[in-house]
Amino acid sequence: MTLSILDLAPVVSGGTVARALRDTIDLARRAEGFGYRRYWLAEHHFAPGVASSAPAVLIALVAAATSTIRVGSGAVQLGHQTPLSVVEQFGLIDALHPGRIDLGIGRSGQRRAELAAEASAPPPEPRAAEPAGGPPGPRAAEASAGRTPGPPAGEIVDGLLIPPPFDYSRLALHPQLAHAATLLQQPGARTPDFAGQIDDVLAFLAGTHEVRAVPGDGADLEVWILGSSGGQSAQVAGERGLPFAANYHVSPSSVLEAVTAYREAFKPSATLAEPYVMVSADVVVAADEARARELAKGYDLWVRSIRTGAGAIPYPTAAEADAHVWTDDDRALVQDRLDTRFVGSPGQVADGLRVLRRVTGADELLVTTITHDHEDRVRSYELLADAWDRP
């Protein structure tokens, strides 16, 4: 199957971390029966609503509870650990579950520093809304009428919504996030260049590094790079001939930029003769659209908690979501994520995902579903797997 799962081990409102972890193991077993190709675990820290803070540990538990599905990270944040420690952890898991483990790697420390620098830089010189002498566009007309121009509209590319970009630089300066970043590394530690870190990972696995990683040397891991833009992650994945996973569910505005940059940078390797792309998506499936939308309630409030810098809250109930009073600023924080979810009946969601696959040229899709009730989440994945197999 060309569908895989990304799981954050969500803690729901009224739930516990222990319950979230048991639900993750249960979902992985059942997803294996549904025919999904991979089961990946995310890495999140300081989030009351996410239990997946140590993906290597959770991967070992899931791999032990399953037998055929590939299990991996989506992604290990390499800015928090050394390449050696990551290879040793995943090499240990591979020793007991050979040929089933994926090492998905994300770029973290460098990116945080870049975003903070962008946010603290002086604002650019103002530019005219339209070329001099040209007709005023709608945003210029709004400004001339004394109204603040709204956010730029998204565009539809061959049936796929590409929304306006979200400004992550403001989030990078949030005091809580800045403090959290210092707790993820030893005092005074600096994140090395990402390309060099990836080269070290590959050398440890191949046994060509100047020192030997045990376990890890010769481990049969699939190494993936995950990225949200056309920046260094996409470039490194392409230049090293590694498979690449692009984030439509986290950063939908830049998914096409990311996959294009990866393909343009791609060089054949011992791993791949040609590019291989996986694209992520937020999904909720139910028997009909109305039920799916009811199950999807709480998502906007959950995303808001992340983008305000507070960290993901325990996933709300529908009643808790309905009780929240939204402001225009609140909506602006989450609108791109709401507009790019795939929510509906099995046929509706499968059709939407086929559009995503066609427009991005994805070889595989990585779907993630969160609902307050565990059985609703399991059923969503089951319905999608059945619909995906039908023309």
- Which CATH number covers residue 188? 3.20.20.30
- Centroid of chain to Cα 131: 38
**pLDDT tens for each residue of 312-351:** 999 999 999 999 999 999 999 999 999 999 999 999 999 9
Is residue 127 included in any domain, yes or no? no
Enclosing domain of residue 313: 3-119+152-388
Is residue 282 included in any domain, yes or no? yes
Total Cβ atoms within 10 A of residue 236? 24
pLDDT at 342: 98
pLDDT band at 135 (very low <50, low <70, confident <90, very high): very low
DSSP, residue by residue, 63-129: HHH-SSSEEEES-EEGGGS-HHHHHHHHHHHHHHSTT-EEEEEE--HHHHHHHHHHHHSPPPPP--S
Total Cβ atoms within 10 A of residue 37? 17
Is residue 287 included in any domain, yes or no? yes
Q: Using alpha carbons, list the distances in angstroms from residue 176 to 171, 173, 359, 383.
A: 10, 9, 37, 39
Q: How crowded is the C-beta side of 345, counted as CA atoms within 13 Å?
A: 6
pLDDT band at 167 (very low <50, low <70, confident <90, very high): confident
**Does pLDDT of 132 surpass 90?**
no
Which residues, at least 6 apart from 32, have a Cβ–Cβ distance to it below 8 Å?
Answer: 39, 66, 67, 68, 69
Q: Using alpha carbons, list the distances in angstroms from residue 68 to 77, 99, 133, 352, 371.
A: 26, 10, 65, 28, 26
Q: What is the mean pLDDT of residues 159-184?
A: 81
Q: Is the peptide bond before 215 cis (omega within 30 degrees of 0)?
A: yes
Q: Report the predicted TM-score, pTM, of the whole model to 2 decimal places.
A: 0.89
Q: What is the token pair recorded at 319?
A: 């009643």
Is residue 124 included in any domain, yes or no? no
pLDDT band at 108 (very low <50, low <70, confident <90, very high): confident
Is residue 230 included in any domain, yes or no? yes
> Whole-angstrom Cα distance, residue 21 to residue 39?
14
Q: What's the whole-number average pLDDT of the chain?
A: 89
**Does pLDDT of 130 surpass 50?**
no
* Percentage of residues of the chain with pLDDT beyond 90: 79
**Does pLDDT of 121 surpass 80?**
no
pLDDT band at 168 (very low <50, low <70, confident <90, very high): confident
**pLDDT tens for each residue of 217-257:** 999 999 999 999 999 999 999 999 999 999 999 999 999 99
pLDDT at 140: 29
Range of lowest pLDDT (181-190, 211-220, 269-278): 181-190
Is residue 41 included in any domain, yes or no? yes
- Furthest C-alpha separation in the chain: 70
**pLDDT tens for each residue of 44-100:** 999 999 999 999 999 999 999 999 999 999 999 999 999 999 999 999 999 999 999
Is residue 137 included in any domain, yes or no? no
pLDDT band at 390 (very low <50, low <70, confident <90, very high): confident
Overall number of domains in the chain: 1
Is residue 143 included in any domain, yes or no? no
Would you call 133 helix, strand, or coil by DSSP? coil
